Structure 1
Amino acid sequence: MTNTVSIPTFANSSAQPTAPLFSRASGLRLVEQIVQALASRIDDRLLRSGTRLPSIRQFADQHGVSRFTVVEAYDRLVASGHLESRRGSGFYVRERAPLINAALSKPEETAGNQIDVVWLARNMFRQLPPQKMPGSGLLPNELLDAELVANALRSISRQAPNALLQYGGPQGFLPLRQQLQLKLAELEISATPEQILTTSGVTQALDLVARHFLQPGDTVFVDDPAWFLMFGSFAMLGARVIGIPRTQDGPDVTKLAELAAQHRPKLFVTNSVLHNPTSGSLSSPKAFQILKIAEQYGFYIVEDDIYCDMHPGSAVQPATRIAALDQLQRVIYLGGFSKTLAANLRVGFIAASTELARALADRKILSSLTCSEVGERVVYKVLSEGHYRKHIERLRGKLERARDRTLRQLDRIGLDTADSAPVGMFVWTDTRRDANRLTELAMAEGWLLAPGSLFSPHQLPSSRMRFNVAALSDPAFWRFFEQALAGA
């Protein structure tokens, strides 16, 4: 038999709450108070599964509130899974399975699980606090500007609300692409809006390029070490992934030429500026040599410049972009704003020849139709009003201070930082121990590290470790790591 509850007297329930349902003196809206009160009683099992709530009219009359208020409160409780609406019958307490709070779930144990690319990626999305993830690839929130993004989002919701209801254009929001044309010109890369395609981050950009060029059995070159997620992505396409050793000023061009002659790759994916994980940047001589080798052996260069805006300029560290030399003939340039503005916006872009940009846009339509124009409008707003430049200047200063602190701490605990790059968000250091073992010890204590083995396509054991300088502010980590080094 179905119970019907009269709130707050609970005529058919043994529970007799004494607190009123809501207070008009509270700072919260009546809707929010009603939702909180009913949700709490359902969660505490004071309202049992299957109990029928008063009708909208009955509830409104009993508590002296408008029927619109009750409708909104009930709708919210249906959306949260506390109630279910039965047409012609009313609202009932729903049977609810216990929810697991992902933010409080423990990182995946390493015992019995191999530390590999998927392991690290999975643990990076377990919502650990940033200060518990010294190996992560994102900046902590305090280094970013949430209010800058929020203001832009509020502005576009007022100015163009109808545009938020429709698909965006397949090639991307035109005003943003026009703004990116200006941004690329500052880097001495000439590109029209027709040569620019927006993507859902650099990850999608790289996937679109790979799917366009690679067939099973084809070879793709990557830096070694390099950003690890693309190794698995290329392998899933049936491609053979070969690493080109990375030196302080760029790839080993002698090895690149030797392997290109042997394997005839379709693509070479590389970071020219603030390479992940070393933070090194490409020198001009190396850039010319790479382009010459690509022309000789007929492969395309995919230049991933996601860390572009973190670089303070050539006065601190030389930084040459191959796309500036080639002007998008054999170079496909990738960029984005997930590292510097907001990862959740997922706004990236590809700049390529007009013909290739059009082909990639067609492939984008087939795989995802379009990207969210909401994020693209937010980025356009921030860029076009001049806020981004000031934000980046502040961010570089914060990174510089964080980097200095990290290098001092690494020196203090006896690790050599002499070959570390002078700028960037990563430090690539030699621990002189098995980095996988250090990672296991760290995970047991709730710290997420990034061992060097993950950054090589061969996944071989390594003593190297990537540190995110912006995620190393907790003294407790340094106490743990010093002890781990002593015991490893």
Structure 2
Amino acid sequence: MTNTHIAPRAAAAPVGRLSREAAESLTDQIVRTVAARIDERELRSGSRMPSIRRFADSHGVSPFTVVAAYDKLVARGYLESRRGAGFFIRERAPIVGAVPVPSVPEPAGQSLDVVWLVRNMFRQMPHQQMPGTGVLPGEWLDGDSVANALRSIGRQNASLLLNYGVPQGFLPLRQQLQRKLAELEIGATPEQIVTTAGVTQGLDMVAREFTRPGDTILVDDPAWFLMFGSFAALGARVVGVPRLPDGPDLARLAELAALHKPKLYVINSVLHNPTSTSLSAAKAYQVLRIAAEHDITIVEDDIYCDLHPGSAVQPATRLAALDQLQRVIYLSGFSKTMAANLRVGFIATSPELARRLADRKMLQTLTTSDIGERVVYKILSEGAYRKHAERMRTRLDGLRSRTVRQLERVGLRVDVAPPAGMFVWADAGCDTNVLAERAMGQAHGPGILLAPGSLFSPSQLPSTFMRLNVAAMQDPAIWRFLEKELREKEAGALSKSS
């Protein structure tokens, strides 16, 4: 008895008529049609697809078109390629996560903390329900410029895109940043600039360079919440300096500096997060004097730089411009104004420290994304970014005063209405942790993300303040919620007093 090899059954003609007039490419037409017929079980698992040449001849297309279509179908799990035998329809197992899974509610009694806020900032909810977020809506940004830059880079020599970048960052970008810093009256050569994966990585690198477990880092209070946990994870003690409308409380800064001997003081000089206030020139000089007296290195986070109209329009004093990178380390980036997904930031500092930080960066991540840095360079160097930043500032200016008036109408108090930036620091007159929990747990519609003031303080104590993003306050549901909650609070207070 002889063994008989049974060849796999060939698939029926997998594609109907193709159109050369359609907007969809021939390759994508083939992929879409074959995938649909497999999904609908018209083409059976295990069947062999027509050979590339046979498919091309029967449909009047080139073999290259068929190869591209088959390769896409393999990548998407519809076909498998068997060496020497051809392409076969794959047995499609269900993909884990393909079936919608009900969202897991927060555990009962879950307290609001920094992780809670960050987790919810990355939820797939519309930005219209996220007045507590720290970014501008996507449609405010210049997606066309990013897409055009990516296409232009893709047309370059492909080998440029396959290797690591250089440790200090893409040189043409650092040269462009030198010119940008010069406009802010900060002198820095390309050798003094190190690119980072956003300001977040920059702060982490500097903290690791300067501190050891048990050391103290001073921060403004309130301030950007994410660094509190990051510094604490390094074993550092994080101590808050009260922030006033024109900068830190100088008496308290001097007292804490003498008491704790801190290694670093992290500050937003311009468009402070969360209040959007800026450091006065008089206080800037005093901050530098206190830092010199107590040998403190200042880390100036200027991530909102391009949302400020410039010192010719509004006062803006940067410590790095006064100090010229002797005691001040300057950080900035483009996640707020260009694209968060590019994760391109930078550090400007002394040449010696720049070399050390570049070495530290190599030990942490080797290099940052050369592609992202090329995209940012192309956008900056072609000149359109200035107009884009001006459009964003104008749009924010059109919303800010109107939003502040509306906040006051529904019962919040804004002690200092900022002249620029995206944030308003508002007093709700009640524990904003409770308000944030109620906003997120609404019975009707998606949750509303608020950013309670407690999360912006190293102490994490209850606060009546919260940060609101004026660009994300346009959904009427937010105003209905705030008005209802604050009026109920007021009514409850009146009934108690009577």
TM over 0.5: yes
Contact 1:84-1:94 at 8 Å conserved across structures: no
Relative distance call for 1:65 and 1:313 in structure 2 (3 A) is closer
Are the aligned partners of 2:128 and 2:474 in contact in 1 as well (CA < 8 Å)?
Answer: yes
Per-residue deviation, 1:142: 2.0
Give secondary structure in 1 for the equivalent of 2:330.
Answer: strand
Partner of 2:34: 38
For 1:13, the equivalent position in structure 2 comes to none
Q: In the superposition, relative to structure 1, how do residues 261 and 446 fare at CA in structure 2: closer, same or farther (>3 Å)?
A: same
1:6 correspondence with 2:11: yes
Q: CA deviation at 1:482?
A: 1.6
Q: Contact 2:11 / 2:44 at 8 angstroms: preserved in 1?
A: no
Q: Are residues 486 and 332 of structure 1, via their aligned partners in 2, closer, same or farther at CA, if it must alter by over 3 Å?
A: same
| Equivalent residues in 2 for 1:107-118, closer than 5 Å | 109=106, 111-118=108-115
Picking from 59, 67, 72, the partner of 2:68 is 72
Counterpart in 2 of 1:164?
161
Shift of 1:39: 2.5
| Pair 457,45 (structure 1): closer, same or farther in 2 beyond 3 Å | farther
C-alpha distance in 1 between matches for 2:44 and 2:478: 46
Counterpart residue number, 2:474? 473
Matched, 1:485 2:470: no
TM-score by length of structure 2 reads 0.89
Distance 2:99 2:179 in 1: 41
Question: Mapping of 1:147-296 within 5 angstroms?
Answer: 147-296=144-293
CA distance in 2 between partners of 1:233 and 1:111 (Å)? 26
SS at match of 1:357: helix
Q: Distance in 1 between matches of 2:332 and 2:347?
A: 7
Asked if structure 2 preserves the Cα contact closer than 8 Å seen for 1:42 and 1:93, the reply is: no
Amino acid at match of 2:175: Q
Query: Which amino acid in 1 is paired with 2:421?
Result: G
Unaligned ranges ≥5, structure 1 = 10-18
- Give the TM-score taking structure 1 as reference length: 0.91
Specify every segment of 5 or more residues in structure 2 that has no aligned partner in the other structure, as ranges: 1-5, 490-498
Query: What corresponds to 2:496 in structure 1?
Result: none
Residues 315, 190 of structure 1: alpha-carbon distance in 2 compared, 3 angstrom cutoff: closer
Point out the more displaced range, 127-136 or 346-355: 127-136
Q: Do the aligned partners of 2:411 and 2:487 also contact (CA within 8 Å) in 1?
A: no
Q: Does 1:451 find its partner at 2:452?
A: yes
Q: Deviations over 1:154-177 (max 9, x none)?
A: 233334543222221111111211
Q: What SS does the corresponding residue of 1:131 show, helix, strand or coil?
A: helix
Distance in 1 of aligned mates of 2:402 and 2:101: 29
Residue of structure 2 equivalent to 1:438: 435
- SS at structure 1 position matched to 2:194: strand
Give me the whole-angstrom Cα distance separating, in 1, the residues matched to 2:18 and 2:12. 11
Q: Distance in 2 between matches of 1:481 and 1:110?
A: 25
* In structure 2, distance between residues paired with 1:311 and 1:108: 39
Letter in 2 for 1:29: S
Moved more, 376-385 or 22-31: 22-31
Q: 1:367 to 1:2 in 2, by over 3 A?
A: farther
What amino acid sits opposite 1:183 in the alignment?
K
1:21: how far off?
6.7
Q: Is the 8 A contact 2:196 2:344 kept in 1?
A: yes
Farther off after superposition, 55-64 or 468-477: 55-64
Q: C-alpha distance in 2, partners of 1:380/1:25?
A: 38
Q: Greater shift after overlay, 327-336 or 108-117?
A: 108-117
Measure, in 1, the Cα distance between the counterparts of 2:108 and 2:16. 51
Distance 1:264 1:393 in 2: 41
8 Å CA contact 1:227, 1:277 repeated in 2: yes
Residue in 2 aligned with 1:14? none
Matched, 1:360 2:357: yes
Residues 352-401 of structure 1, C-alpha deviations (whole Å, 9 max, x = no match)? 01100010011111111111122222222222222121111111101111
The equivalent residue for 2:369 is 372
Percent identity, aligned pairs only, is: 65
- Tell me the alpha carbon deviations over residues 377-433 of structure 1, each in whole angstroms, 9 at most, x when there is no partner: 222222222212111111110111121231122122121224222211001101112
* AA partner of residue 465 (structure 2): R
* Residues in 1 aligned to 2:42 and 2:68: alpha-carbon distance in whole angstroms: 22
**Alpha-carbon distance between aligned partners in 2 of 1:487 and 1:67, rounded to the nearest angstrom:** 70
